[in-house]
Amino acid sequence: MLGTEPALIADYVRTGKARLEFWHITDFGNASLQASAAAECAGEQGAFWRMHDILFANQGHLRTGSVTTLAALAETIGLDDAAFRQCLATGEAQERVREIDAAVKARGVRFRPSFEINGQFIQGSPPLEQWRQILDAL
């Protein structure tokens, strides 16, 4: 998806033809929960997608869900360290993530990546041209 996502965002999201939403799925225990909470906390500083991208790029270093590791990544994208750590410490972001995870799983989503387009689920990531056919047909 990393190869097709920028083109889809440029051609469909930025032009207002589509909306991109992220649904947390916490398949990998505490590490997954903490990484998703870190993205939510970054979102409070207007940096959800930047944090999403850096978490994805560094997923091999996230096995423990260490706040120190997550804060170091947050620092690389210029987030306020104290606010970021406070957000993680309250547990509110983790609760939001648990709620999203439960809601998504209740709708039948089990795999990543998964996409919903007008009520139709697509699992996996089709090639860019197939995405364009799907989206242009709408």
Residue 117 has pLDDT above 90, yes or no: no
Distance CA 75, CA 34 (A): 16
One domain, residues 35 and 93: yes
One domain, residues 7 and 34: no
Mean pLDDT of 33-60: 94
Q: How large is the C-alpha radius of gyration of the chain?
A: 16
Residue 70, pLDDT score: 96
Task: Please give the tally of structural domains in the chain.
Answer: 2
One domain, residues 1 and 33: no
Mean pLDDT of 56-75: 89
**Residues above pLDDT 90, as percent of the chain:** 57
**pTM for this predicted structure:** 0.84
Mean pLDDT of 46-54: 95
Residue range(s) defining the domain that contains residue 78: 28-100
One domain, residues 13 and 67: no
Per-residue 3-state assignment (H helix, E strand, C coil) for 76-130: HCCCCHHHHHHHHHHCHHHHHHHHHHHHHHHCCCCCCCEEEECCEEEECCCCHHH
Mean pLDDT of 114-120: 82
- Count of alpha carbons within 13 angstroms of residue 54, beta-carbon side: 19
Residue 38 has pLDDT above 90, yes or no: yes
One domain, residues 49 and 84: yes
One domain, residues 96 and 42: yes
- Count of alpha carbons within 13 angstroms of residue 73, beta-carbon side: 26
Residue 116 dihedral angles phi and psi, to the nearest 5°: -120, 125
Question: Do 111 and 96 form a contact (C-beta atoms < 8 A)?
Answer: no
- Count of alpha carbons within 13 angstroms of residue 98, beta-carbon side: 7
